Amino acid sequence: MIDVVFLLLVFFMLAARFGQEGALPLTIGSGGETAWSGPPRLLQIGPHDILLNGRVEAPETLVLSLSELVQPGADLVLLRPVQGADMQRLLDVMTLLQAGGLTNLTLVAP
């Protein structure tokens, strides 16, 4: 009986997760009828390229181009994944933007 309890104890110790998992704060865009104010700042994230307001941007210059349009941390940046973009690509772009100080990100439906 003690062997069974010991095995269960070992199993639950190995299966348990210790520590916190990482999370990215994200706002889901609503379909409201509010008027848009400010410069356009829509990022379309594709499997091989990133479009900022319909213009192809390199990941290296993306934060610099967006910082000309928004105030970091205050203004909203819209993210729209296009057909074929996977979740890892979206997370990579979000991490890049947050490292550049752009934290107010909203995901909109494709």
- pTM listed for this prediction: 0.65
- Residue 16 DSSP symbol: S
Write out the CATH class of domain 39-110: alpha beta
Sketch the domain layout of the chain as residue ranges: 39-110
Contacts of residue 100, Cβ cutoff 8 Å, sequence gap at least 6: 62, 63, 66, 67, 72
Confidence tier at 37 by pLDDT (50, 70, 90): low
CA 77 distance to own-chain centroid: 11
β 42-45/77-81 pair status:
parallel
> Which tokens go with 52?
């900022």
Is pLDDT of 36 > 60? Answer: no
Chain segment 43-94, per-residue pLDDT in tens: 899 888 888 888 888 888 888 888 888 776 677 888 888 888 888 888 888 8
Asked whether the CA dihedral 78, 53, 99, 79 is positive or negative, the reply is: positive
